[in-house]
């Protein structure tokens, strides 16, 4: 066979192989979804929408929010666990995701094996608030009042296993006091009763109380974080006010389904890190009491394990069960 003909045949064969070999498009090349396991309008939804808005500028594709509330975040979380590990379906996880393994006997997913951590986006805290007419003006006053009359004081929560509930349970345990737990369906009715004098204290979110504290309708006496907050620099932490070692945080973390390729995880982590530097997050940090983090996957993994262990002990010691 002449060399020229052989070369032509080899060229044609190589071209045919290249033509029929699928080319992997650079990630991402189409829409990315972030599943929020809560209804629209809450704190998690606001954080997720701000993150999506900023990440899509960096990724170059549309990033949308899909709200899938129900069963204490289980429905939305499970939907992500069952999604393809391709980086196009993500989960905005929260405090609830670290608590649920201890609240429920069986989950339809494994919180460790079915997810790949992407980024710890932000941490937050709760504020200890009382009625402004209350004689309780500090954490020490709260402890003294609870010890003086163990049956008198009650605190409002907005659901079993929420941060408002478990922050209170941790306080009771570490301060060695009794507070009667009064559950509500949401923060608003609980705060209404606190203002009305039906309950005496709440461990509530910054977003739910900041404007009321500023207006003088509530009195803030401490924050549940380990360090003082830039949002309330004048308020002591519960720990420095007398309950040593106390810390109760909320948090927001981005997860992908397990087996998502490491290069995609890295791309998403870098995008989230850039996103939290945006002006929109600086404003949100003040309004929601956030500490922006955007930590790498390994740090989110360690943080989640620590939170899961912390709240498991509180839940078991208090005998708390899912409603």
Angle of the 262-275 helix axis to the 43-59 helix axis, nearest 10: 110
pLDDT given at position 42: 84
For 63, the domain range is 32-122+250-318
pLDDT of 287 reads 79
Q: Are 107 and 76 in a shared domain?
A: yes
Distance CA 166, CA 277 (A): 31
Q: Is there a domain that residue 1 lies in?
A: no
* Total domain count, the chain: 2
What is the biggest distance separating any 2 CA atoms in the chain, rounded to whole angstroms? Answer: 105
Final residue in a domain of this structure, among 207, 223, 239: 223
Instruction: Give 128-178 pLDDT, tens digit per residue.
Output: 999 999 999 999 999 999 999 988 899 999 888 999 999 999 999 999 999
Those residues whose C-beta lies under 8 Å from the C-beta of residue 4, and which sit 6 or more positions away, are none
**101 & 139 share domain:** no
Cα angle, residue 250 at apex, residues 244 and 256 outer, rounded to 5°:
135
Q: How far, CA to CA in Å, does 279 sit from each of 43, 51, 239, 275? A: 18, 12, 32, 9
* pLDDT range class, residue 251, cuts 50, 70, 90: very high
Same domain, residue pair 117 and 137: no
Render pLDDT for 50-98 as a digit per residue (tens, 0 to 9): 999 999 999 999 999 999 999 989 999 999 999 999 999 999 999 999 9
pTM: predicted TM-score of the whole model, two decimal places: 0.86
Q: Tell me the pLDDT tens digit for each residue of 201-246.
A: 999 988 889 889 999 999 999 999 999 988 889 999 999 998 999 9
Confidence of residue 4 (pLDDT cuts 50, 70, 90): low
Alpha-carbon distances, residue 305 vs 99, 112, 299, 309 (angstroms): 11, 9, 10, 6
CATH number of the domain encompassing residue 160 = 3.40.190.10
- Whether residue 288 is predicted with pLDDT greater than 90 in this model: the reply is no
Does 122 sit behind a cis peptide bond, omega within 30 degrees of 0 on the bond before it? no
> Residue 17's pLDDT is what?
44
For residue 231, being part of any structural domain is answered with no
Q: What pLDDT score does 177 carry?
A: 95
Q: What is the CATH number of the domain that holds 280?
A: 3.40.190.150
Does 74 share its domain with 108?
A: yes
Which of 223, 239, 262 is where one domain is finished?
223
The yes-or-no verdict on residue 6 having pLDDT over 70 is no
Q: Do 157 and 104 reside in the same domain of the chain?
A: no
């Amino acid at each position: 066979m002449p060399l020229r003909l052989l070369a032509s045949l080899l060229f044609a064969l190589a071209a045919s192989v290249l033509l029929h070999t699928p080319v992997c498009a650079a990630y991402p090349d189409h829409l990315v979804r972030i599943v929020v396991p809560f209804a629209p309008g809450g704190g998690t939804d606001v954080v997720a929408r701000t993150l999506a808005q900023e990440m899509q500028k960096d990724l170059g594709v549309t990033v949308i929010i899909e709200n899938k509330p129900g069963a204490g975040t289980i429905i939305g979380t499970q939907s992500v666990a069952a999604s393809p590990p391709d980086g196009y379906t993500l989960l905005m996880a929260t405090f609830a995701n670290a608590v649920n393994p201890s609240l429920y006997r069986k989950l339809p997913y494994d919180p460790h094996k079915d997810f790949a951590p992407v980024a710890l986006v932000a941490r937050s805290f709760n504020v200890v608030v009382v009625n402004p007419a209350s004689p309780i003006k500090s954490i020490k006053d709260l402890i003294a009042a609870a010890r003086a009359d163990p049956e008198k004081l009650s605190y409002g929560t907005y659901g079993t296993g929420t941060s408002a509930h478990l922050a209170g349970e941790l306080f009771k345990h570490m301060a060695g006091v009794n507070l009667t737990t009064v559950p509500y369906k949401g923060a608003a009715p609980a705060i209404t009763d606190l203002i009305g004098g039906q309950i005496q204290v709440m461990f509530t979110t910054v977003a739910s109380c900041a404007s009321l504290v500023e207006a003088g309708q509530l009195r803030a006496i401490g924050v549940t974080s380990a360090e003082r907050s830039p949002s309330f620099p004048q308020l002591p932490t519960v720990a420095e006010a007398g309950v040593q070692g106390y810390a109760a945080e909320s948090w927001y973390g981005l997860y992908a389904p397990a087996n998502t390729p490491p290069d995609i995880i890295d791309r998403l982590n870098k995008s989230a890190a850039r996103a939290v530097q945006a002006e929109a997050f600086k404003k949100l940090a003040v309004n929601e009491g956030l500490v922006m983090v955007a930590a790498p996957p390994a740090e989110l993994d360690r943080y989640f394990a620590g939170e899961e262990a912390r709240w498991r002990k509180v839940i078991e010691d208090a005998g708390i069960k899912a409603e």
